[in-house]
Amino acid sequence: MSGGLPGFHNAPVSRAVVVAAALFSVPFGFRGRFLDLGLSYQNVYEKLHIWKLITSLFAFSSTPELIFGVALLYYFRVFERQIGSNKYAVFIVFSTTVSVLLQILALGYLKDPSLAPLISGPYGLIFASYVPFFFDIPISTKFCIFGLRLSDKSFIYLAGLQLLFSSGRRSVIPGISGILAGLLYRVNLFGIRRLKVPDFATSLFSRFSWPFANISYQRLPVTRTDENIPYHQARQMEGVPATTPDPVETSISTLVSMGFDRASAIQALALTNNDVNLASNILLEAQST
């Protein structure tokens, strides 16, 4: 894939979801009509407003929710790089579909016509992504702030809590539905994790570069000796002394626990001065090529 923001390199499906959320949120979510965008008992069971299934999936209802939601979608693009766009597209379809079905079932169970419409936006996908985030992303650093023991993952959890409780029950139901959808994908319901979308479908996302078409980004070549690591990462180290500290064993173990082989982990850590987060990004990017 060429073109597009560097942050979305090898993540065309994630980029398409972020752009779609922005395109739906601006005209619909910010014009004082957001209460009509989400699912409600009347819309689903009485008026049969099926079109609101689309708006409820993409349009955030306020600027703060759009900011937090897009930031999380951008962060979770790491899973697309890890499993590939073909499987990640299946994850998106599965998590959003199951989440919407669970929301509809919850509305039918509550049978509360006075309940305001559920919050709109890709809550199903966002909170489904917290399942692999919890199980597959290890903690690399820990620190204390005002006596609280935190880690590098704490801020992602705090952003999720902000979204989950932003509108009370209206946001909790979509959030919990997304987590359940993520768990069902995790346990490989109906063998869903083996499915992939065809290559031609994901290639459409690669061409979906608007509004980033004017920003170019090209991958630099990979050297023979560093086949497992993109050479443009090594170019960033120009001007740095050639001698780098040997990777510490704990950092190597962290990367190995994420599924990378030991040799590639040592190589990535050597290029990044033992920065586990940067090294994991390099390895994930190399893995998806």
pLDDT at 83: 86
Q: Domain limits of the chain?
A: 12-212, 248-288
Architecture of domain 248-288: Orthogonal Bundle (1.10)
The answer to whether the CB of 10 falls within 8 A of the CB of 80 is: yes
What pLDDT score was predicted for residue 192? Answer: 92
- The whole-number pLDDT of residue 2 equals 35
Phi, psi torsion values for 144, nearest 5 degrees = -120, 140
Q: Which two tokens stand for residue 66?
A: 């759009």
Burial 44-55 (b: 16+ CB within 10 A, else e): beeeeeeebbeb
Instruction: Report the C-alpha dihedral over residues 264, 267, 268, 273, rounded to 10 degrees.
Output: 150
Q: How many residues does the chain have?
A: 289
Burial of 31 (0-12, 13-18, 19+ CB in 10 A): exposed
Question: pLDDT in tens for each of the 289 residues of the chain?
Answer: 333 345 777 788 999 899 888 888 877 655 544 446 677 767 676 776 666 677 677 888 888 888 899 999 999 998 888 888 899 999 999 999 999 999 989 888 888 777 777 888 899 999 999 999 999 888 878 888 888 888 889 999 999 999 999 888 889 999 999 999 999 999 998 899 999 888 777 777 666 544 444 443 333 333 333 444 444 444 444 444 444 445 578 888 887 777 777 888 888 887 777 877 777 777 776 665 5
pLDDT of residue 224: 38
**Class of the CATH domain delimited by 12-212:** mainly alpha
State the DSSP string of 97-144: HHHHHHHHHHHHHH--TTSPPPPPSSHHHHHHTHHHHHHHS----EEE
pLDDT of residue 221: 38
Count CA within 13 A, CB hemisphere, residue 87. 16
8 Å CB contact between 152 and 138 = no
Tell me, what's the pLDDT at 1?
36
**Cα distance between residue 106 and residue 88, in whole Å:** 26
Across 12-27, b (16+ Cβ under 10 Å) vs e yields bbbbbbbbebbebbee
| E-strand stretches of the chain | 142-145, 148-151
Q: Are 225 and 248 in contact (CB under 8 A)?
A: no
